[in-house]
Structure 1
Amino acid sequence: MSVATTTAARTVKTTVATGKSRDRTTVSLVFLVALWFSLFFGVVVLLALIISTATKGAARFDMELLTNYTSLVSPETSGFRAGILGSLWLMLFTALFAVPLGIAAALYLEEFADSEKWWNRLIEVNLQNLAAVPSIVYGLLAVAVMALMGFSDSGTVLGGSVALALLILPVIIITTREAVRAVPREIRDGSLALGATVWQTTWKQTLPAAIPGIATGTILGLSRAIGEAAPLVIVGLAGSIRFDPEGLMSNATALPMQIYSLTSQSQEALRQAASAAIIVLLVMILGLNALAIFIRNKFQRSW
């Protein structure tokens, strides 16, 4: 074999192994510049919106924003206590409804289901499709579920939690399956070789090893749900409630609902309060995302 052939073969192997090519054609450079420009443009627009919103609501960054109720009579001291507490209640019951069901479904599909069966393949396809369904559709589905359960009023903590649980359930299932799939097969084989059953192996070995990935996906799903307003509009959560939720069947509101309600008001003070509430909501979402990143970096294992 000649030296040129050997060098060419090594170049091909390096390109295949690294996925990179030293060739820089005009088309590839133009495409690369377009990608970086799109990323830069999106980040700049996002920063501009955040800075503009924070500037408009800067005068309302006070404790009254968190402790007072929404008031059209005294908009200068209007707050979002009911919306913040309502969002916390919704997140609590959304997690209680979605997380156990999502983890159980993911474990069944990944560890126990027969992929050759047509109904399991149908579930697989539907899961991928449901993750991309608009959130407003889950609100319609929640109304139907509440009606089937015999509840005439869906504008409660239960109704909102059902809508948000249905929204994040596909995300939790998919991320849990990926976390379980990342656990090495050798751990399962070793447990089975020592006489453990499939269920014992899944419960004692696979699931604990996948908890960091499951927790990360769950928190990211909840961070998406806390900022959703469309499904809550459909289930009938009001934006003008001025009391704290007291239970699962209590009428409630949520922070996105109150923001949506106040941004359409003509009074400048209410729109200013809505701008400040947007920043509060962003802080809550970013806090959940930061928690997910911390859990991933702290507890993630390298197999």
Structure 2
Amino acid sequence: MHRIIPPKIAQKIMSSVFWASGLLTIVILLVIIGYVLLKGLPVVNFEFIFADPIDSGRSGGIFPFIMSSIYVTLIAILVATPLGVGAAVYLSEYAGENFLVKLIRFGSETLTSIPSIVFGLFGLAFFVIYLQLGWSVLAGGLTLALMALPTILSASEVSLESINKSYAEGSLALGATKWQTIYKVVVPAALPGITTGVILGMGRAIAEAAAVLYTVGAALMIPTSIMDAARPLPLHLYILATEGLSMDNAWGTAAVLVIMILVITVVTNTLVDRYRKKMMGR
């Protein structure tokens, strides 16, 4: 005979499993970040951050690479955000369950599962060669936009779907058009979730090396236009580590990259929380 576990005991067991899983995830995260910072922070100083590189990055600073990362990431987010949010609004508010909707969702899920190196090869073939953009900030940013797009689309769609339908119904009942209801009621209410998707997309874009390996080049100077070649921080880290130029500078670059991602995430989440509390207080 099979013994039946009492519901209270089963609940305690599953709660313990979930708590252990959460704690293990946090511990792994802290160990990775702590190890990178432990190895990299002794290298980081004012000169390392704001000076130009010397001897292909073996010594000197990483300021041009920081600016390159910012430029490429901004282009990616500026391109991917309106496309992702617009597609999410269409799927959530206008489209029904038809072939086109299924095709869009299938394409988004497929893009999410494609390895980043494939995006890099596509960017090389399409943006760099076919569109003749060359190795440039623009080519790298557009390639990263394709990577961030499905993340922003999925998070935005989920956020829009979670909004209480009575908000939109009340707006329409007061005489607002559907478009006025969307951009004045629905989208502002879903903004925290949309912002979360943008943060996730930005985090993937700013930390990506494989996708920009074939699209931005490996310039050592600060790009002065979007058509200039560049070397974002992840690519610089990859070059330092794989070519054995300087492991000390590699760890320092990794530490700066981790700190940048943490700062962006914390600041953006803080602003989102303030906006959410402001909306709830109305």
Which TM class, normalised by the smaller chain length? 0.7 to 0.9
CA distance in structure 1 between the partners assigned to 2:176 and 2:201 by the alignment: 33
Partner of 2:76: 94
**1:49/1:193 CA distance change after superposition, 3 Å:** closer
Partner of 2:181: 201
Q: SS in structure 2 opposite 1:60?
A: coil
CA contact (8 A) 1:142 1:235 kept: yes
Question: Could you tell me the TM-score, scaled by structure 1's length?
Answer: 0.80
Identity of aligned residues (%): 31
Q: CA RMSD in A?
A: 2.7
Question: Could you tell me the TM-score, scaled by structure 2's length?
Answer: 0.85
Q: Please point out which of 263, 276, 283 is paired with 2:252.
A: 276
CA distance in structure 1 between the partners assigned to 2:141 and 2:122 by the alignment: 12
Partner of 1:214: 194
Partner of 1:16: none
Deviation at 1:184, TM superposition (A): 1.3
Counting matched residue pairs gives 274
Q: SS in structure 1 opposite 2:53?
A: coil
CA distance in structure 2 between the partners assigned to 1:216 and 1:222 by the alignment: 10
CA distance in structure 2 between the partners assigned to 1:87 and 1:177 by the alignment: 28
User: Aligned runs of 1:130-169 on 2, under 5 Å?
Assistant: 130-146=111-127, 150-151=131-132, 153=134, 155-169=135-149
Q: SS in structure 1 opposite 2:138?
A: helix
CA distance in structure 2 between the partners assigned to 1:233 and 1:119 by the alignment: 33
User: Aligned runs of 1:59-208 on 2, under 5 Å?
Assistant: 59-72=42-55, 75=58, 77-115=59-97, 117-146=98-127, 150-151=131-132, 153=134, 155-208=135-188
CA contact (8 A) 1:57 1:276 kept: yes
Amino acid at match of 2:241: T
**Structure 1 residue runs without a partner (length 5+):** 1-19
1:245-301 deviations in Å (ceiling 9; x for gaps): 11111111100011111113445xx21111011111001111122123213322225
**1:146/1:58 CA distance change after superposition, 3 Å:** closer
**1:109/1:136 CA distance change after superposition, 3 Å:** same
Larger Rg: 1
**1:197/1:51 CA distance change after superposition, 3 Å:** closer
Amino acid at match of 1:282: V
Partner of 1:14: none
**1:41/1:173 CA distance change after superposition, 3 Å:** closer
